[in-house]
Amino acid sequence: MENNKFTILITTYNRPEKIKRHLMSFESICWDGLIDCKPTIIIADDLPGGGLRGLCEEYQGKLKSFNLMYLERKKRLGQGFNLFYAIKTNIKSGYVWCVGDDDILFPEQAVDFINNINKNTPDVAVCEFRQGDNYQDGTFFSGKTRIINDVGVGLELVARFGKLTSVVFKTPDNKMIQLVENNFLGCMYEDRPFAVFSYLCSKRKKLYLKTELTAVGDSDYGLLRYSQRVFVNLINCINLAVKLSSNCTGVAFPKLKNNTPSEFRWWINGLYATILGSNIRYTRSRFIKEVMIAPKVIYRKFSPVKNNKWIK
């Protein structure tokens, strides 16, 4: 079962109950359906001394279909930095599937996804992801599961919805890692440039699209600990990765149209949603931070600051 290298990377901060839910799911007999593949699960714990080590040690002997690795940060890095350094330092080959700690994989579909990635060896793969009380938000990929060879179509699929769990990419080489470290840290979508580089810097440019629902967000998805303003970063992040890929390969790849609302619009939307008690709203601490940042957001609305590349 060691023929194909595959890593499931779960970054987490102070959510032991969600990690336990993942580990219990990985015990399912459905995972016995993996063909010639024993993935490594990496739990990258961003809470120093948080107590997840004991839980992971408990499950290391229980997960028959996986190897389980626990990483404990010595100081808190933040989600994107945590993800980046796990990839840079601890993953050397094969495919990487970054999975949200608050997401739920459907084992049968996840097994099918992994098996077909190993079978078809695409440069990048995407799967159907939904969240919300009625699964009203998500990727909404249409048609049959298939291989995509059109780069313009493929890039839009990689960018669709921006949810961590929806994308799988090949382990980056040192040049790709350096590009991400120099240009993308702090954008919140650090997985996307890895996916774009994996896709566009390949000779084949082959994408595997799985349209069956493979993962969902849990019931806590609507309580945001980060600012809605960061949604501005997604398309900008993708297009910068496209530009850098073009520079590396000498091929002028198509950029995506940017119809994303402005930072100011997202800021207003987030505040109003929280005040009105909408399903998607801020935690109390996040709401206070959004109120306090008002002068900076209003200033940037009229006088954009060039050196503030990524909204935080």
Give 1's pLDDT tier (boundaries 50, 70, 90): very low
- Residues 103 and 75: beta-carbon distance below 8 Å: no
pLDDT at 44 over 80: yes
Give 108-126 pLDDT, tens digit per residue. 999 999 999 999 999 999 9
Cβ atoms within 10 Å, residue 147: 13
Cβ atoms within 10 Å, residue 246: 15
The C-alpha angle 279, 285, 295, rounded to 5 degrees, equals 100
Give 186-227 pLDDT, tens digit per residue. 999 999 999 999 999 999 999 999 999 999 999 877 788 899
Q: What is residue 3's predicted lDDT score, i.e. its pLDDT?
A: 53
With both helix axes pointing from N to C terminus, report the angle between 263-275 and 294-302 in degrees, rounded to the nearest 10: 150
Distance CA 144, CA 148 (A): 11
C-alpha distance across the termini of the chain, in Å:
42
In a 13 Å sphere around the CA of 133, the CA atoms on its Cβ side amount to: 3
